[in-house]
Each structure stands twice: as C-alpha cells, then as structure tokens.
Structure 1
Amino acid sequence: MKDPRLATLAKVLVNHSISVQEGEKVQIVGTTNAKPLMKEVINAVYEAKAIPFVELADDELRVLEVKQAPAEKFQLRNKWALEQYKDLDAFIQIIGEENDAEMSEVPAAQWQMGRSHLKESHDYLIDQKKWVLLNYPTKAAAQKARMGYDTYFDYLIDVCSVDYKKMEEAQRPLKELMDKTDKVRITAKDTDLSFSIKGIPAVMCAGERNIPDGEVYTAPVKDSVNGTITYNTPCPYQGFTFHDVSLTFENGKIVKATADNTEELNKILDTDEGARYIGEFALGLNPLITEPMGDILFDEKITGSLHFTPGEAYDEAPNGNESSVHWDMVLIQRPEYGGGEIYFDDVLIRKDGLFVIDELKGLNPTNLK
C-alpha cells in the first residue's frame, strides 16, 4: 500500500527544494530501497511538466568499483559527469542506507584520490545547478537511530515535512545579525572557543538543499579560531564513528585532536593542509530534531545545537580554506547535554539551546513547530 505522505514529501522536494519549472531536466539518483519515494518524485516531476532521468545506485557495487580504481577511472568519470551535468537543470539524490560501515572497506587514500579527480564535476553540479539531498528511511538507519522501523519512518517524514516557508522567515533576523557580527564566543562543558566571522556571508538553509533542513551557516575567518571545542555527539566519517572528539586551535589550526580513536582521527585531519582548519560554523534550528542519531543530515540540524566543521568551506560562505575533507561535528548546548552559551560581539544570543534576544526568539522550538 502506498503511503500518501511520500507523495507529499516528493512535492516538497520537487516544488520547494529545487523549484522545478516546465521543461526542465531533472536527474533523480537513488538506491533501490528508496524506490517508493523515487516513484513519487518521478510523478511529481512529470506533474510539473518537467523531464525526469533516473539512476539507481548500490553501495556494495560502488565499493567494489572504487576501492581498486586507478586514477584514470576517476578522471574519465569526472569528464563524463561534467558533460552530463551540463545538460541538466536540477538534481535530486535519495540515499537509502543499508550498511553504515560499507564504505569503510575503501582505503582513505583511495577516497582522497577519487575526490580530487572528481572535484571539477562535483563543484560544477553544486555551484551551477539546483540540487537537494535526502536520506530515505531504512531499517539500517532506524537501527543506527535506535528506533523501531515504523517509529523511525514516521519520525523522518515528520522532520522532513516541517513548514519551511515559516522557518525561512524566522531565519532572516539571524542571518542579518550574523552578517554584521565580528566576534563569536562559544562556551560549554570542556569548550571555550573564540573566532571571527567578520565579512563572511551567512546563509539560510530552509529546505532548498538538504531535507530535513534547518540551519544558518557561515565560516570563521580562517586564522581567527582559538581555544577548545569538545563535541558531545557521535562524529561519523566514511564508515567510522568517533566519540568524545575534542579539538584545540591556535590561530585557526587544529594543534591537538583527541577522541576514542585519536590515531585514526588525526589521520583524517592530516589528509591535507586544509583539514586542520575550519570551513563552516552553523547553528541547528529544526524544532523536531532533538537527539543525535549518527546521521549528519539530521544531527547537524538538531535544535539547540551548533556544528563546527574541519575542512572545505562552501563557496557561499568562503574563508579561503580548501580541503578534500568537510566533516560536520555537532555540539548540543541544551541543558540535558550540559548547556552552553553563544555570544556575538560579547552579547549573549543563545543560552542552553534557546535564543534569548527578542529578534531571534522566533527560532526557538515552541515558535517553529
């Protein structure tokens, strides 16, 4: 039996996230277990009088394809993908996770080589085309979230279907404040961090790129970060999950990094020079996402959270940092997670996960639900 909520979600993706127009060409990429939603997306694209192009993906096959691939393979893939993307207007990716550890079979050096050779086509798609990314509810994802499948399915549909127009309006005062802010200070348990965001644009995220959504992000001035941040949520990266990650900065650079697997953590941060600098600072704002579940598309939007991201900066909020790494790590500041404060230019703007100045109170969960 079809779930009518999937048709509603498909219309959010097609009509809100990528705003498909008549005659546009839309690529839909998804895994086989995401077919129920993919079928609804195809229908929604046709209803918009646009043209869908469908591609099925499989993680097991991708691992076999990538882990032995020579540089030439990635170079050819980059060339073919670039030509394909030039003919598209929009791109929807639906991920249906079957095994979170599947990608750990691929050596880190192989991932790095692949990303470096595919960077041209990837950046072209991200910068030049409309796109959105969504995780479909699977049993593997439910297990990772420590939920029964039916509960997880309902949860995902709910958090993906919030009122994004309302969220967008509530985000505007935060963007305006961040655009004129210089100094930021973050405090929490084992955390005292300071940096500048002066001159770097703030970007609102209300359903146009990721579903679920709900954040406003910018980036720190590259060499301005000093102090320590200790993350209180799991930090997944390419099949590995790290706990109790703590990073210490001097003049922007991570000079000390510890976790439950400190050696592997530092290997990732040594991938290239930019991996030890920060590419993103963001505040999580989705009122229905409250607990970490090991899926960064959800965790980075947790209400009362922030993420502070080693690696590549986005073109929309550039600070000059380049890296093959972009690793969102999340700190929750609500009281049950130890609390915490955020100051903009020495003014307290959020305490224990709630905004305390009048112009930002519309972003608190009771006002966004």
Structure 2
Amino acid sequence: MRDSRVIELAKLLVHHSCRVQPGENVLIDLFGEGRELVLALIEEIYRVGGYPHVQLHDQLVHRQLLLGTSEPHVHLWTDYSVYKMKQMDCYIGVRGSNSDAELQDVPDEKLKQYMRTFSHQVHSEQRVKNTKWVVLRYPSSSFAQMADMSTPAFEDFYFRVCNLDYERMSLAMDALVKRMEQADKVHIVGPGTDLQFSIKGIPVVKCAGEFNIPDGEVFTAPVKDSINGVITINTPSPYAGTVFEQVRFELVDGKITTASANKTERINQILDTDEGARYIGEFSLGINPYIDHPMKDILFDEKIHGSFHFTPGQAYEEADNGNRSAIHWDLVSIQRSDYGGGEIYFDGECIRRDGLFVVPDLEPLNPENLK
C-alpha cells in the first residue's frame, strides 16, 4: 500500500506546481531513489488526462560518461536532450540521492564543458523558459545521514517541510514582494558581512511551491554593478563535487574581486568559469518555517527561515539584471541569533533582525505564523 504522504506530494506536484492539463506531456526525471514517488506521479498524471514520460539516471553512470566525453559528444548529447525537452509541457525533476561527490574526480574542464553546453541549453534555455517545471529532492538514507537524523525521522521531517500550505505562504509573501519592488538600496550587516547594493527596477518573484519543493523564498537580483562591500557565508555549500566552507567575498562595483574559502584555489577556479561568474545573479530571502539548519542541499538550505542567499552567476529571466554565466551558485547565510544574528535594511529601514521580520506587514512571514 502506497504511503499516503507520497500520494499527497504527487498531487501537490501535479496540481499545484505544474498544473498539468489534459493532453500535456510531463517528463519525470529521476536521479537515484524515488521510484515510489514516480509511480504515484504516473498515476496522478494519467488521472488528470496527461501523458507521463520517465527518465532514470544513475550518478556513477553519469560520472563515467563525463570522464570520457568530448566536445562533439557533448553537443550530440545536448541536441537530442533538447529535442526531447521540446516535446514536453511540464518537467518534474526528482533528485533521490545526494551523490555530488561522485563527480569530484571528473576533470574541471569536462565539468565546465558539460555545464556550458548541456546544462545551459537543455535546462536554462529550454526547460526553464518553455515548460512548467518543478525540482525536488527525495528522502534517502544518505540524505538522512547528511541531516544527522535517522531515516524514519528524516522522512517525517521531509514530508512536513514539503507538504505544507503553499497557498497560505503565497498570500503572506505578497507584502514582501511589494516591499522589494518599491525598494532601492539594500544594506545587509552581520558577522563578517557589510554589503550594500540596489535592487531598483529589478522584478521580484515569490516562490511558493511552483518551481521547487520544498519552497519558501522571495527573490530578485541586485543591479549588476551596484554591489560593494564584503559578505561571509556561514553555511557549508556543495558545488561541483566540493563542499566549501568559510566562503568570503569582497565585491567592488558588482564584481567579486577577492574570494577565499577552505578551498580558495578551487573556489577561484569556479569563479573564473566565465566573466559573469564573478558577478551576482540573484538575491533572495528564505522563509520556510520548518527548515532550521543547513543540510548541504541547496533545495532545502536556500529556504531556511531567517536566511538570505547571494548567487554568483546566471540571473533568472524573471528577475534579470543582465548577468550571464554557465554557473548559478546559491550561497546561503543564516542571520538568526543562533547563527550570529544580523540585519537587513531596505532604504534605511530595518525589515528583518536576527532572522525575524520586525515590520507589521511582514510579520505574517515569521515561522510561528506560517506553521
């Protein structure tokens, strides 16, 4: 008998996230574990009159492909994947294992080639722009270990985080969207952070279960050349098979001029991927009331309540500041008092202190009001 929580999640993805309509083609893209969810998704898609399509991936197989790939191979790989994506109306990406470490020994140039070509054309250009899409992680024993929980405890946490009332969250987000749309200057302060920039004229997007599950963020982008100051990231951040800690950037007129971390040489290699990698493509506030601490998984960590994230690389088309890059790396900093505190100011007014919104119109976004 299928877990009722899995059925509830499948319904959320089909009806709320992708709004699948009769006759639409839906690509279910599974990496690793999560077949129970795939089966529930197939049933629910058929139930609404859609047509499910399934891709199954294995990270060790993916690693072996990358080790021997070449430019002609990546281009053909990309071409047929773009063709397939063009046939789809909806995309549900299920990430059922956290095995980025499997790619750690793939040569940097191979990874860059794959990201510049396949990831950019298939996902950034075709999927994101032309389908109704949602991406989510799925619980596994390795994922539970990362969260320092038993597998049953992590599953309970996972479904509580994912199957929340996104309609309620969406309504509460409207006030923050309005504030950000009206704001010009943003000032972020905290331990090791004193950063100023403008968001004037950049669109603001609320995320309440349409593109990510779990969800809970409102994002925009800084005016590209407006950022000045220093930022210190207080959570571990995996990227391209490496976990980075103690990340610190100095920015002058929007550009990361100095970058350091526990692996300084490697972080600078990533930031030298292309010209846009040293500029910022996203600024976002996290508000999911059930996510308290980092798990080294960005789909969860970027939604931590009381956090913000700053993103070297590609800007989203919905909130576009003109920055272009093959990378998009969300770096999360938590400002709650248990992480050292901090404040965010819009045009000189403090709107959030130590992770809690302190102005009346935004207080509905605090955790006690969203649970």
Note whether the superposition's TM-score is higher than 0.5.
yes
Contact 1:100–1:140 (CA under 8 A) maintained in structure 2: no
Closer/same/farther in 2, CA of residues 32 and 272 from structure 1, 3 Å limit: closer
Partner of 1:2: 2
Distance in 2 between residues matched to 1:84 and 1:341, nearest whole Å? 46
Distance in 2 between residues matched to 1:336 and 1:10, nearest whole Å? 35
Partner of 2:272: 270
Quick check: 1:151 aligned with 2:153?
Answer: yes
1:32 Cα offset (Å) = 4.6
Quick check: 1:339 aligned with 2:341?
Answer: yes
Contact 1:355–1:363 (CA under 8 A) maintained in structure 2: yes
Distance in 1 between residues matched to 2:131 and 2:324, nearest whole Å? 21
Distance in 2 between residues matched to 1:170 and 1:98, nearest whole Å? 32
Deviation per CA, 1:331-353, whole angstroms, max 9, x where unpaired? 10000000000000111100000
Distance in 2 between residues matched to 1:91 and 1:43, nearest whole Å? 16
Supply the AA of the counterpart residue of 1:270: D
Distance in 1 between residues matched to 2:87 and 2:31, nearest whole Å? 22
Contact 2:32–2:95 (CA under 8 A) maintained in structure 1: no
Partner of 1:106: 106
Partner of 1:76: 76
Deviation per CA, 1:176-233, whole angstroms, max 9, x where unpaired? 1111111000001011000000110010000000000000000001111000111110
Distance in 1 between residues matched to 2:202 and 2:144, nearest whole Å? 37
Distance in 1 between residues matched to 2:103 and 2:165, nearest whole Å? 34
Supply the AA of the counterpart residue of 2:117: H
Distance in 1 between residues matched to 2:122 and 2:191, nearest whole Å? 41
Q: Which moved more, 1:81-90 or 1:250-259?
A: 81-90
1:120 Cα offset (Å) = 2.5
Distance in 2 between residues matched to 1:264 and 1:113, nearest whole Å? 17
Partner of 1:310: 312
- Calculate the aligned-residue CA RMSD, in Å: 1.0
Equivalent residue of 2:34, what SS?
Answer: helix
Distance in 1 between residues matched to 2:27 and 2:247, nearest whole Å? 37
Distance in 2 between residues matched to 1:176 and 1:80, nearest whole Å? 42
1:33 Cα offset (Å) = 1.9
Partner of 2:58: 58
Partner of 1:90: 90
Deviation per CA, 1:72-99, whole angstroms, max 9, x where unpaired? 1111122212221221110111111153
Supply the AA of the counterpart residue of 1:249: L
User: Structure 2 matches for 1:168-247, cutoff 5 A?
Assistant: 168-247=170-249
Partner of 2:33: 33
Distance in 1 between residues matched to 2:110 and 2:359, nearest whole Å? 47
Distance in 2 between residues matched to 1:121 and 1:35, nearest whole Å? 23
Distance in 2 between residues matched to 1:311 and 1:151, nearest whole Å? 35
Closer/same/farther in 2, CA of residues 199 and 298 from structure 1, 3 Å limit: same
Supply the AA of the counterpart residue of 1:248: E
Equivalent residue of 1:321, what SS?
Answer: coil
1:125 Cα offset (Å) = 1.1
1:354 Cα offset (Å) = 0.6
Partner of 1:120: 121
Equivalent residue of 1:361, what SS?
Answer: helix
Supply the AA of the counterpart residue of 1:296: I
Partner of 1:248: 250
Contact 1:311–1:324 (CA under 8 A) maintained in structure 2: yes
Distance in 2 between residues matched to 1:140 and 1:278, nearest whole Å? 32
Aligned-pair identity in percent equals 49
Distance in 1 between residues matched to 2:126 and 2:228, nearest whole Å? 33
Equivalent residue of 1:88, what SS?
Answer: coil
Distance in 1 between residues matched to 2:143 and 2:69, nearest whole Å? 28
**Which runs of no fewer than 5 residues in structure 1 stay unpaired?**
none
Deviation per CA, 1:147-195, whole angstroms, max 9, x where unpaired? 1111111111110111000011011111111111110000010110000
Distance in 2 between residues matched to 1:121 and 1:230, nearest whole Å? 33
Equivalent residue of 1:52, what SS?
Answer: strand
Equivalent residue of 2:369, what SS?
Answer: helix
Distance in 2 between residues matched to 1:132 and 1:340, nearest whole Å? 32
Partner of 1:290: 292
1:163 corresponds to which of 149, 162, 165:
165
Equivalent residue of 1:316, what SS?
Answer: helix
Distance in 2 between residues matched to 1:105 and 1:91, nearest whole Å? 30
Deviation per CA, 1:246-271, whole angstroms, max 9, x where unpaired? 11111111111111111111111111
Contact 1:71–1:117 (CA under 8 A) maintained in structure 2: no
Deviation per CA, 1:47-76, whole angstroms, max 9, x where unpaired? 111110111111110111122111111111
Supply the AA of the counterpart residue of 1:309: T
Contact 1:195–1:224 (CA under 8 A) maintained in structure 2: yes
Distance in 1 between residues matched to 2:284 and 2:32, nearest whole Å? 33
Contact 2:217–2:303 (CA under 8 A) maintained in structure 1: yes
